[in-house]
Amino acid sequence: MTRILLVILLLMATAGAVVAYGDPDQIARARQNLTQIFGSSISAPAAAPAPAVQIARSQGGEFAFRAKINGVSAPMVIDTGATSVVLTWETAKAIGLPTDMLEYNVDLETAGGHTKAARLTLDRLAVGKLVEKSVPALVVQRGQMKTNLLGMSFLDRLESWGVRSDTLSLTGYPDVTGSINNSARHRRPRTVVD
């Protein structure tokens, strides 16, 4: 009888913590703890499939698409040669970033030549179903670039990406906690398909 009361108390405390925090990682840990206590009688839900996005090559040879940066739609081009996501000043201003308060102290080589950029972190960057939070990015000075670039600071977070038959495929990690973005997930090496 004491064991049953202890288990009920444990379940209530776990449920209270999960409701109080609403954190997907804590929910997953609580489920794992309960599974260890009760064995396989509590089954964890199957992981959601990995989100994937396919982008067709444009007539100009680029992989161009519309992303959502902090909830605002913006045109972008995939650039695997860019170490970071790079935004034009105009796009940064349009999505509400404090362009006048940024410190443009990063040297940057672009297709148009040398320029200065400012570092910042984007709260949220979504490419179709792929959503990443706290993405490092650069903003170039006004008029220095015409196109926003989706560089490696986003692509390195994906499970895989690659080009086949003029289609770029981006694949995120499977959702193991029931949330859209699990920032604590383990990063696996990315694979590139030629």
> What pLDDT does 11 receive?
64
pLDDT given at position 25:
62
DSSP characters for 40-102? GGSPPPPPBPPPEEEEEPPTTS--EEEEEETTEEEEEEE-TT-SSEEE-HHHHHHTT--GGG-
Cβ-Cβ contacts under 8 Å for 104 (sequence gap 6 or more)? 116, 117, 118, 139, 141
What's the first-to-final CA gap in the chain, in angstroms? 62
Q: Sort 95 into a burial class: Cβ within 10 Å, 0-12 / 13-18 / 19+.
A: middle
| Structure-token match 């920032």, residue found | 183
pTM above 0.85, yes or no: no
For 147-158, how does the pLDDT look when each residue is reduced to its tens digit (9 = 90+)? 999 999 999 999
Residue 178 has a pLDDT of 52
Contact by Cβ (8 Å): 25, 176:
no
Asked whether the beta carbons of 156 and 190 are under 8 A apart, the reply is: yes
- pLDDT tens for 7-64 read 675 666 665 555 545 556 666 666 666 566 666 555 555 667 788 999 999 999 999 9
Place of tokens 């699990």: 182
Q: Mean pLDDT, to the nearest integer, of 74-91?
A: 95
The predicted pLDDT at position 49 comes to 77
In the three-class reduction of DSSP (H, G, I as helix; E, B as strand; rest coil), residue 164 is classed as strand
The residue with tokens 């902090």 is 70
Return the higher-pLDDT residue of 103 and 189. 103
- CA dist 155 to 25, 46, 126, 186, Å? 23, 26, 12, 15
Q: Which position has the higher pLDDT, 143 or 75?
A: 75
Which carries the bigger pLDDT value, residue 59 or residue 5? 59
